[in-house]
Amino acid sequence: MQYATVDANGALTGFYDDAVHQAIPAGAIELTAAQYTEWVAGQTSLIWQAGALVAAPAVVLPPAVVAAAAVQAAIAAGCPVVSAGTPALSGTYAIDAASTANINAVSTYITVNGKFPAGQASIPWPDIAGAVHVFPSTASFQAFASAVADWVMKISLFQMGQASVLPTGSETIP
């Protein structure tokens, strides 16, 4: 004979078979073969209520939780950039806090000094997969930084409830 134990909400906490287990917990529910088979097949979608297996109530997440998860997924997915003039710059770039801070730092340096930092004639930048793309000019890097800022702002607008959808597609740079 098969048995099941459940929590206060009727959710399964364990199965027991008297052919295998020497002791069956007190309060365990004796199951028919059909009930046992049905419950094994649908463990997380069924609960025990009033002596029978019934569908578990659907879990509905609050909209704020769903939106926060969507924002985190969008950030983790990165910013897809397509370069019309220099296809080698096309890629999906990381937009987490550290990555955007680095992009902003280089962009600010270029704005203030009119050149790349550290005396570089060009600047290598990894995409989200780690492939390195070489920006040949400060203008190309600034276009990239602007594209990333646009993408991040679209995500921020969604997060603040000022946009109804997250960004899709890609950002295009010259």
Query: Domain locations in the chain?
Result: 2-55, 63-173
What pLDDT shows up at residue 80? Answer: 98
Q: Which amino acid is at 59?
A: V
pLDDT at 126 over 90: yes
Lowest-confidence segment of 21-30, 56-65, 75-84, 136-145 by average pLDDT: 56-65
Cβ-proximal residues to 148 (8 Å cutoff; 6+ apart), any chain: 79, 81, 93, 95, 100, 103, 171
Closest by Cα among 19, 16, 20, 40 to 29? 16
What pLDDT shows up at residue 125? Answer: 98
Q: Which amino acid is at 7?
A: D
pLDDT at 57 over 90: no
The mean per-residue pLDDT over the stretch 71-76 comes to 96
Residue 29 vs residues 22, 42, 65, 137: alpha-carbon distances, Å: 16, 17, 36, 72
The mean per-residue pLDDT over the stretch 8-20 comes to 91
Q: For residues 123 and 66, is the Cβ–Cβ distance under 8 A?
A: no
Sheet holding 29-31, edge to edge: 12-17, 2-6, 29-31
pLDDT at 26 over 90: yes
Closest by Cα among 25, 23, 33 to 7? 25
Beta bridge partners of 83: 173
Which band of pLDDT confidence, cut at 50, 70 and 90, is reported for residue 164?
very high
